[in-house]
Structure 1
């Protein structure tokens, strides 16, 4: 068996595609109308078609569950923050720095699925190294091996 990726049920496919392509920056690989596959393996399925496929009424679906998230990494994290500041995007929280040093921001997509955008780990590593953290300190802070830290800093 091979995992192929997550699928999100969406109320409005056009709004969902616009969010994921314009805000998150992924591309549409396949658009079958009621089912869309995006780069990275994420798929979107309309609520109406999913309801038909599962024999469930539309009141079966619960949005805004706040119990799962789609995770992306961004090399130009500051640029991404500037981009979403200019857009009407509902945030779960403002930018945070995780204990291991990675900066993240969490957003809601149009159907209130949580989308986390994290600073690319190599970029994070280089940023922290430029602030003076040694390879050993980075290894301790990030829980990554010294070898992995050194690889990321190249």
Structure 2
């Protein structure tokens, strides 16, 4: 099998209302739909969804494991500094940034209500050449 595109990214969340508000208000994703413990947002070609953790076993046959952040979701934005200013106004706490990265992104990291790492990234010129 060769995967040709990402169809969905779904995060299993404890509090659907709090998480939906975070991705709508802090990240700025347009809300698409809500149905039985699920919320979905418009993100271009890839669907981004939130599913209540208590309903995850219906999909995967077991309860999702607890623990700290096990990954991150990256959203490309036009202006990371403008987003940082807007998020400060909302009282959102940053993990890091905004900072220029050598691989060609200016990044800002924060946590969503369930502890998932959210990265906002703006494309900038690369500081390091590609290898490989």
TM-score normalised by structure 2 residue count: 0.80
Report if aligned partners of 1:71, 1:117 keep a CA contact under 8 Å in 2. yes
Q: Within 2, Cα distance between the matches of 1:143 and 1:72?
A: 23
- Give the number of the structure with larger relative contact order, counting CA–CA contacts within 8 Å between residues 6 or more apart: 2
Aligned equivalent of 2:56, options 50, 58, 62: 50
Alignment length, in residue pairs? 124
Q: CA deviation at 1:55?
A: 4.1
Computing the radius of gyration from Cα coordinates, the structure with the larger value is 1
**Residues 6-45 of structure 1: pairs in structure 2 closer than 5 A:** 6-40=9-43, 41-45=47-51
What is the match of residue 107 of structure 2? 104
Higher helix share: 1
Shift of the 76–94 alpha-carbon distance from structure 1 to 2, 3 Å rule, reads: closer
Distance (whole Å) between structure 2 residues aligned to residue 81 and residue 55 of structure 1: 39
* Cα RMSD, aligned residues only: 2.2
Indicate whether 1:117 and 2:120 are aligned: yes
Moved more, 105-114 or 73-82: 73-82
Which is strand-richer, 1 or 2?
2
Unaligned runs of 5+ in 2: none
Does the 8 Å CA contact 1:63/1:111 hold for their aligned counterparts?
no
- CA–CA distance in structure 1, aligned partners of residues 77 and 121 of structure 2: 6
Q: Which runs of 4+ in 1 moved over 4 A?
A: none
What is the SS of the residue equivalent to 1:92? Answer: strand
Q: Distance in 1 between matches of 2:97 and 2:55?
A: 34
Q: Is the 8 A contact 2:37 2:52 kept in 1?
A: yes
Unaligned runs of 5+ in 1: 126-137, 145-154
